[in-house]
Structure 1
C-alpha cells in the first residue's frame, strides 16, 4: 500500500474519536440546557426525565447514556450553571482593588445575570442550596473579600461568622422575586445595599458602592445561559 494511502487512512481513523467526543459533548450540552428549562418550569423536586427527553428531541435510551437519575441530571445542571456564572463574575471583579467594591460588584453581577435570564432565575430559586453546594460564588469568592474588608473596617468582623448564610439566604429570596414577580429597575442594587448594611457597612458607603457602573459581562454564545436564552426566544417567537 502506498505511503500516502496509509497516511490518509490513519488520519481518518485518528479523526473518528475526536468527532465522536465532540458529538457526545454536544448531546450532553443539549440535555443539560433542556433540563434547566424543564426544571425551571416544573421545579427541582419533580421527576423530569420524560420531559427532558422530549425537549432535547432524543430517545430515552440516548438519555441514559449520559445520566442515570433525575438527581444526577440536577447536579449536572447546577454545577454547570454555577461554574459558568462564577467564571463570568471572577473575570470582571478580579481587577478591583477595593474588597468592599469587589463584594458589591460580584453580588450585583450575580443578580443581574439572573435578572436577564428568567429561566435561570427560576431554576436558581427552585434549586436553592443545591446550586453549587458549598462551591459557589457565596462560598468560594466572597469570604476572602469579606475578611479583607473587615480588616480595613468596611465590615463588622462579628458579622462574618454568619455572613455567607445571610448573603445566601438573601440572594435566594431575590432569585425567587425576580423569577416570579415584577421588580423595580434598581432592585438588585437595593438588595445588595441591604446585604452590605447587614454586614456592618454604613448606608452611605453601601449606596456609593452600588452606584458604581457595572463592568460588562460578555456572555459567550456557546454558554449555557446564552443557549437557554436563545431557546426561550425561539419558543416565544413561535407563539
Structure 2
C-alpha cells in the first residue's frame, strides 16, 4: 500500500476517492468497475491497488468518510440536548439537510448500505446509545434495541432517497417533519408531542440549515 503522508500519494488517493464518490452517486456499486474509477481519476490502474486492496475497500473508505462527516454534524446538532426523542429527530433532520447540501455524497449513502445496520458499527454508536437511553428512561417503548435501530435506519434511508430524488427545500422540510413524527410515534412517543418535536427539529435544522455538514461550527469566528 502507498505510504501515507507522501504528498503525491495523498493526491492520488484523494483523486480516487473523489472519482469513486462521483461514480457511486450516479450508479449502483456493482455497476462501477475499477477501470471506471481510474479513468475518472486520471490515474493508472496500478495506482488504485497502491491505495486500496479492492473496489470494496474504496467503497468502505468513501462511505465511512461521508457518514463520519454527517455524524459530526449530528453531534453538533445534539450538543447539550438530553432528551432521546429530540436527539433522534434532530439527527434524522441533519441527515436530510445533508441531502440538500451535498447531493453527490448523499447519493452515495443512498446506494451503499454494507454494514450500516449493525449494532456494533462505530457509526451507529450514537443511535444505539440514544435508543438505550430512551428505553431506560421509559421514553421509548419498543421491544428491543435492535428492532429500534433497524426501524430508524430504514425510515431515515428511505427519507434520504426521497430528498435525493427531489432536492427542494420545501419538500425536504415537509418530508423531514412527517418522517421524524413517524419515527417518534413508532418508538412510543405520544402523537401530539411527536408532531411538535418533529416540527421544531425540521424548522431549525432542515429549513434553516443550522447544523448542516457545510455549516461552520458555532465558535468558528472566535
TM-score, scaled relative to structure 1: 0.74
Offset, 1:144: 1.8
Which segments of 5 or more consecutive residues in structure 2 lack a partner in the other structure?
217-222
1:195 Cα deviation after fit? 0.9
- 1:107 is matched with 92
Aligned with residue 211 of structure 2, among 212, 216, 221:
216
Q: Distance in 1 between matches of 2:32 and 2:115?
A: 16
Partner of residue 135, structure 1? 121
Q: What corresponds to 1:227 in structure 2?
A: none
Cα deviation, residue 168, structure 1 = 1.4
What is the deviation of 1:115? 3.2
Q: Supply the RMSD in Å over aligned alpha carbons.
A: 2.6
Write the distance in 2 (CA, Å) between the matches of 1:70 and 1:218.
Answer: 26
Deviation at 1:27, TM superposition (A): 2.4
TM-superposed CA distance for 1:179, in Å, is 2.4
Q: Distance in 1 between matches of 2:149 and 2:97?
A: 19
Q: Which residue of 2 aligns with 1:188?
A: 176
Say if 1:114 and 1:121, in contact at 8 Å, map to a contact too: yes
Query: Cα gap change, 1:159/1:206 in structure 2, threshold over 3 Å: closer, same or farther?
Result: farther
User: Counterpart of 2:51 in 1: which secondary structure?
Assistant: coil
Match of 2:57 among 45, 62, 72: 72
Count how many residue pairs are aligned between Structure 1 and Structure 2: 203
What CA deviation, in whole Å up to 9, does each residue of 1:32-71 have, x standing for no partner?
Answer: 1210110121211224222221222222222221123211
